[in-house]
C-alpha cells in the first residue's frame, strides 16, 4: 500500500482486525478524550511501508486519556487490570495525560492531543480513537510527513532546549528502531553523556 495521506492510514487500520479489536476493547472503558497512540500507529505504518507480512511486536499498547478530576496514578493501574481482564494477551499501558506533565516536567497539557504533540518524535506523535459509530478518529498534531517518509525527527518542543534534545537522542539510540525498520532515517545530534530519560517508558 502506498501511504500518501491520513485517509490511507485510516484505511490501513480499518483493514487490520487486530488493531480494530484493540480499539474496541479500549472503547469499552468510556474514558474521556481517549486515544491509542505512539508505536501502535507508527509501527503499523512502517511495517506496511517495509512490506512486512508479519506484525512487528510492540512492548506496550499506549492507551491515554485526559481526566483532570482524578490524578491518582492508582486509577491507571486499575484500568490496566480491567483491560487485561478483557484481553490478557495485550501489554496495556494506561496513562492519564492530565497528570503526565508532572512526569515529563512540562507545563500542564490541555488535552490528550496537546500531550501527543509533545511526544519526543514527530513519527510517534500519532493517535487513533473510535467515535460512537465505531469509526476511526485519527490525530497527528505534528503532521504525517515524517512518519510516511520514514524519518525520525524531534517534535518542536524537544528542539527547544539542549536537555530535551539529549533525551530525544538517548531515547532514539535505546529504541534502535532502525534494526527493525532499516529504511528509516534518523535525525540526530551528538551527545556526550546520557540524560535521565523521563519519557523513556511512556511512548
Quote the pTM value.
Answer: 0.90
Q: Looking at the predicted structure, is the pLDDT value of residue 39 above 90? A: yes
Give the model's pLDDT for residue 103.
87
> Pick from 70, 41, 55: which is nearest to 146 by CA?
41
CA distance linking residue 167 with residue 198, whole number of Å: 8
Q: Strand, helix or coil at 76?
A: helix
pLDDT digits (tens, 9 = 90+) for 89-99: 999 999 999 99
Distance between the two ends of the chain, CA-based, in angstroms? Answer: 26
Strand ranges of the sheet holding 136-139, from the earlier edge strand across to the other edge: 92-96, 61-65, 35-37, 127-130, 136-139
Ranges of each domain in the chain: 6-186
What are the φ/ψ torsions at residue 112 (nearest 5 degrees)? -65, -40
pLDDT digits (tens, 9 = 90+) for 3-36: 999 999 999 999 999 999 999 999 999 999 999 9
Helix orientation angle between 73-86 and 17-27, rounded to the nearest 10 degrees: 130
In 79-187, which ranges are E strands? Answer: 92-96, 127-130, 136-139, 151-152, 185-186
Amino acid at each position: 500500500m502506498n501511504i500518501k495521506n491520513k485517509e490511507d492510514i485510516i484505511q490501513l487500520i480499518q483493514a487490520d482486525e487486530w488493531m480494530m479489536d484493540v480499539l474496541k476493547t479500549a472503547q469499552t472503558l468510556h474514558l474521556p478524550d481517549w486515544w491509542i497512540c505512539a508505536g501502535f500507529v507508527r509501527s503499523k505504518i512502517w511495517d506496511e511501508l517495509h512490506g512486512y507480512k508479519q506484525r512487528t511486536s510492540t512492548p506496550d499498547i499506549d492507551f491515554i486519556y485526559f481526566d483532570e478530576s482524578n490524578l491518582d496514578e492508582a486509577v491507571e493501574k486499575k484500568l490496566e487490570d480491567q483491560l487485561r481482564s478483557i484481553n490478557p494477551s495485550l501489554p496495556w499501558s494506561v496513562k492519564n495525560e492530565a497528570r503526565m506533565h508532572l512526569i515529563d516536567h512540562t507545563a500542564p497539557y490541555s488535552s490528550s492531543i496537546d500531550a501527543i504533540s509533545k511526544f519526543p518524535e514527530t513519527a510517534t506523535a500519532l493517535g487513533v480513537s473510535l467515535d460512537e459509530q465505531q469509526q476511526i478518529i485519527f490525530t497527528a498534531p505534528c503532521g504525517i510527513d515524517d512518519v510516511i517518509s520514514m524519518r525520525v525527527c524531534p517534535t518542536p518542543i524537544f528542539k527547544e532546549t539542549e536537555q530535551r534534545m539529549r533525551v530525544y537522542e538517548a531515547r532514539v539510540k535505546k529504541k534502535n528502531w532502525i534494526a527493525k525498520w532499516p529504511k528509516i532515517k534518523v535525525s540526530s545530534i551528538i551527545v556526550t553523556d546520557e540524560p535521565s530519560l523521563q519519557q523513556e517508558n511512556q511512548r
